[in-house]
């Protein structure tokens, strides 16, 4: 198994080495090649940009070393603390991210859809993300209006809206999918 090296720049991790960027991207569509929105293959000539949650996952899986710009290694605890500042409810979002990744899905940020994650079956550029996921705690409130708004957006972009309800004490996740019907 290859181990990659990334550098923390503000709230992103950059893989500078082009061959490492290509290889890591080919292992599961991790990150985004800089300047290429949806690459059609793995033969791009660009650095790879990872979100913090992806970097945390890859560091946790022992596939990535993360360094500061001066080359000093960053620990899992340091990245965890950065993630907690970057993501509201990082712990539960990571549980969902890890579960989906470990089950073969490609997980990307869902911010442009107003949710936590966009989920691909094959990968960006190969297929469209069929699912949009919003992560919640069991006691977290979501209004009927919020569900309708999310569902309408998901339907407009031809995706299924899913709530991922995370029980932190045992890391159990309940997925609730919404299907929209025209009367």
Tokens of 107: 């997980």
Residue 43 burial by Cβ neighbours in a 10 Å radius (0-12, 13-18, 19+) = exposed
Query: Per the residue annotation, which of 57, 105, 120, 131 is the catalytic one?
Result: 120
Which residues, in sequence order, are CB contacts of 17 under 8 Å at separation 6+?
5
Q: How many CB atoms lie within 10 A of CB 146?
A: 12
Contact 161, 148 (CB under 8 A): no
What distances in angstroms separate CA 82 from CA 45, 96, 139, 141, one per listed residue?
A: 29, 18, 25, 26
Query: Per the residue annotation, which of 128, 141, 158, 171 is the catalytic one?
Result: 128
Query: Per the residue annotation, which of 159, 167, 174, 182 is the catalytic one?
Result: 159
Rounded to 5 degrees, what are φ and ψ at 58?
-65, -35
- Told to judge if 159 belongs to the known catalytic residues of this protein, a careful annotator would answer yes
- Told to judge if 120 belongs to the known catalytic residues of this protein, a careful annotator would answer yes
Residues with active-site annotation: 120, 128, 159
């Amino acid at each position: 198994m290859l181990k990659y090296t990334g550098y923390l720049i503000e709230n992103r991790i950059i893989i500078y080495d082009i061959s490492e960027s290509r290889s890591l991207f080919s292992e599961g569509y991790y990150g985004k090649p800089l300047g290429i929105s949806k690459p059609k293959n793995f033969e791009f000539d660009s650095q790879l940009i990872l979100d913090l949650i992806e970097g945390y996952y890859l560091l946790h899986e022992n596939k990535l070393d993360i360094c500061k710009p001066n080359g000093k290694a960053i620990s899992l605890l340091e990245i965890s603390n950065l993630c907690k500042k970057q993501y509201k409810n990082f712990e539960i979002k990571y549980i969902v991210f890890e579960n989906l990744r470990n089950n073969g899905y490609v997980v990307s940020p869902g911010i442009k859809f107003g949710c936590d994650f966009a989920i691909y079956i094959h990968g960006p550029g190969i297929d469209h993300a069929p699912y949009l996921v919003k992560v919640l705690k069991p006691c977290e409130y979501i209004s009927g209006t919020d569900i309708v708004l999310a569902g309408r957006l998901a339907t407009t972009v031809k995706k299924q809206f899913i709530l991922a309800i995370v029980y932190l004490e045992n890391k159990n996740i309940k997925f609730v999918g919404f299907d929209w019907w025209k009367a």
